[in-house]
Amino acid sequence: MSSLSGVKRKALRKRAAGVLVYALAVGALLIWIGPILWMLPSAFKPTELITQAELTLWFEPTLEHFRFIFAKQQFLRYMLNSCFIALGATFVASLAGAMAAYAMRRFGSGGRGLTFLVLLVRMLPGVVLAVPYFIAFSSMKLLNTWSALGFAHIGFTVPFVVWLMLGYVDEIPEALEEAAMVDGSSRLQAFFRIILPLVRPGLAATAILTAIQSWNEFVYASVLTWSESAKTLPVAAADFVTAYSVLWGPMFAAGAIIVIPVFLFTLAVQRQIVRGLTFGSVK
Amino acid sequence: MKRSAIALFSLLAAMLVFAVVGSLPVLAADEVVVLVMSGPEAETLRHVAARYEKDTSRSVKIMELGRQVQRNLLTQNLMAKSSDIDLGYTSTMEVPAFQAAGVVEPLEAYMGDPKMTDPSFNQKDFLVWYKIKGKSYALPFYVSTHYLFYRKDLIKTPAQTWDEFFKVARDFTRNHNAKSPTTYGTAFTGLIGVEPTKVFASLAFTYDGDIIDEDGTVLLDSPNSIKAAQLFERMRDEKLVTPEILSQGFSEVQAALLNGQAAMGAPYWSAAWGMLNEQQREKIGIAEIPGVKMADGSIRRHAFVQSMALVMNAASTRKQAAWQFLSYLGGKTGAEINADDGGLPPLKSIVLDPKRQAKNHEYALAAKVLQTARTVQATTIYTAIQESFNSAFANLMTGKTDAKGALTEAAKAVRAAQKR
């Protein structure tokens, strides 16, 4: 009898723990998703409803804020700038980072010091490098160009790619490349024909995360690109914090424009991300 | 081999695209670049620039950025002696620090040259002008001062003195009068940052107090300044002011006035008037900020005044072209465009123009207010003053200390900053 109640108590405790875990998960999810849930409908709310003290859940949606940001501000241009910089930086960083990781693992390039350095660069707060970048690109007359921000983004995404790719390269047995080289492949051919196809899921996941980082990046963008020809979406969104007020409607609309493509993109490639991030975890 | 060659080629091609296409020059060689904070002044500068380009066939590029990004970038560009910008938007309160660092260009040499100056530019026509050690480092183009904003649909006559102000504020605070249509009597911009010092300046000047004098003597803890700060203390103790005062900025005060949270806004920025539409102006009135009744029956008031100004980058490579645009902005056409946009240009010929006054009754009020308005003494430690006062103000409004204690601490911190 007592053992039965013990089993019951145990099951009850397990259940309570499960409920607690779920509650915590839901709480964490709400904290994360709350601002987004607030932002998206607000982008379609008339201005007077956004700023009023009471929360309005039912309203007639309006596109006035989107019209404002596309007609009065040059958001199409800013989107193009963001796309070009994110894609360019991702392509260069992914390829360069994968090659660097390969060299570090196979030839021990740079030794342990380089591996630590890569990690160190990741640990540095971005703002530390913002001013040196500003001075360097200013003296090269490259401020307000795609290339300035692109190179800065490559600078902080390459260590990220290297760090992730090191793990993926580790998973590939060296014997495979050696076999290819015995068959007459050069080292470069072995890298492109053997290593890259094998680490493709990991590289894809890394590239996706790199693109998202570059798309959302604000600190370097605000320091290096502030003209219409190179300004990116996050900096353009901050323009709505004006001298006297915050233009909440356009700000929410800009936020939606920034978040929705990333959201859709992530939804479309989530399988690759999961596959890439779990790549090699089960042998 | 083919694959690897293609991949390598792609990598090089991508880098080349970044390096070449992404680095194409974005500006014409003689294009003047103006770094502006987004808001009504930026809108005006765009309009002036468009007209200037049409009139003179010279190019001006207005680069508009959000509040904090613009401030950071202006400082960064100036301090790094970058020539990427020619003119920068700032408040006249910030200019002394730039002048001390030697990163802004004095304007006298350009002003004296008729070949470079717009024919309608006349320095004597300016209602306000700022000099540091006898030299001009900024061209004011948009005046910003404090008024009393009040719900004219509820309050027939605006308060003239602070005592009257308190009486009205109490009548319109629900805690004191259950029938009050508004929740609180008053609101003002107490947002920690740049606001509290300026609001306090309007009160301190009126009580014959000050923050710092021209010799650098700190007057924050003088008896008159403390008397002025006691107004904040009274508002706090009697709960006349909106409770979220420390996070209440420009737009929040405007919202409080419009949505019935507050019956008055004082001291509150003149720029707010230009942002109200006709319908809102039927509900909201403006008047001089309240003052102190003197023995002869007159009322002493000195509202704080600053100007939004453009400074010229000392490292600019297009200084002449930059001045040509500046003088156009400060001349007749620039000021008229500014006034038509609802702004308050600092020119007597505009503000005192009866036709303009009839069209915009703010101008008559502005002319009156600016006669006695004052500004905080130019100092390179203005940022330290702001920080010290912010802390004092926060302690005062949250009830941690009284007016005397708060200002004594603030004055101590400012004196320490002076020594550093």
ipTM for the whole complex: 0.75
CB < 8 Å from B in window 217-276 of A: 222-223, 226-230, 235, 238-246
- Return the pLDDT at B294: 92
Q: Is A96 on the interface with B (CB under 8 A)?
A: yes
Do residues A39 and A257 make contact, with C-beta atoms less than 8 angstroms apart?
A: no
A134, A145, A244: residue with CB nearest B22? A145
- Give the nearest chain A residue to B91 (CA atoms): A243
Considering only CA atoms, which of B43, B253, B287, B254 is closest in space to residue B142?
B43
d(CA B376, CA B306): 9
Amino acid at the residue A114: L
- Return the pLDDT at A74: 87
A138, A150, A228: residue with CB nearest B84? A138
Largest CA-CA distance found in chain B, in angstroms, rounded: 98
Q: Which residues of B touch A86 (CB under 8 A)?
A: none
Considering only CA atoms, which of A135, A148, A154 is closest in space to residue A210?
A154
Q: Which residues of A touch B72 (CB under 8 A)?
A: 222-223
Helix (H) or strand (E) holding B200: helix B195-206
Cβ A244–B42 below 8 Å, yes or no? no
A144, A240, A241: residue with CB nearest B26? A144
Q: Which two tokens stand for residue B14?
A: 């991508």
- Return the pLDDT at A263: 87
Considering only CA atoms, which of B352, B343, B395, B393 is closest in space to residue B370?
B352
Helix (H) or strand (E) holding B409: helix B403-419
Interface test with B, best of A48, A50, A242, A246 (most B CBs within 10 A): A242
d(CA B228, CA B241): 16
Q: Which residues of B touch A144 (CB under 8 A)?
A: 26, 84
Cβ A145–B23 below 8 Å, yes or no? yes
- Give the nearest chain B residue to A246 (CA atoms): B251
Do residues A57 and A270 make contact, with C-beta atoms less than 8 angstroms apart?
A: no
Interface test with B, best of A69, A158, A245 (most B CBs within 10 A): A245
Do residues B106 and B129 make contact, with C-beta atoms less than 8 angstroms apart?
A: no
- Return the pLDDT at A280: 57
Q: Is A22 on the interface with B (CB under 8 A)?
A: no
One pLDDT digit (tens) per residue for chain A, 283 residues? 556 678 888 888 899 999 999 999 999 998 888 888 889 999 999 887 886 667 777 888 899 999 999 988 889 999 999 999 999 999 999 999 999 999 998 888 877 788 888 888 878 888 888 889 999 998 888 888 998 999 999 998 999 999 889 888 888 888 888 898 888 888 888 888 888 888 888 888 899 999 999 999 999 999 999 888 899 999 999 999 887 778 889 999 999 999 998 888 888 888 777 776 666 555 4
- Return the pLDDT at B178: 93
Do residues A225 and A133 make contact, with C-beta atoms less than 8 angstroms apart?
A: no
- Return the pLDDT at B393: 94
Considering only CA atoms, which of B109, B105, B123, B128 is closest in space to residue B370?
B128
Q: Is B10 on the interface with A (CB under 8 A)?
A: yes
Q: Is B26 on the interface with A (CB under 8 A)?
A: yes
d(CA A279, CA A169): 11
- Give the nearest chain A residue to B16 (CA atoms): A147
CB < 8 Å from B in window 124-153 of A: 131, 134-135, 138, 141-148, 150-151
- Return the pLDDT at A1: 52
Considering only CA atoms, which of B248, B282, B283 is closest in space to residue B268?
B248
Q: Is B243 on the interface with A (CB under 8 A)?
A: no
CB < 8 Å from A in window 360-419 of B: none
Q: Which residues of B touch A88 (CB under 8 A)?
A: 14, 17-18, 22
Counting as low any pLDDT under 70, the low residues of chain B are: 1-29
- Count of alpha carbons within 13 angstroms of residue A212, beta-carbon side: 19
Q: Which two tokens stand for residue A260?
A: 């929705």
Is this prediction's pTM over 0.90?
A: no
Cβ A134–B82 below 8 Å, yes or no? yes
B4, B69, B308: residue with CB nearest A188? B4
Cβ A244–B275 below 8 Å, yes or no? yes
Cβ B1–A186 below 8 Å, yes or no? yes
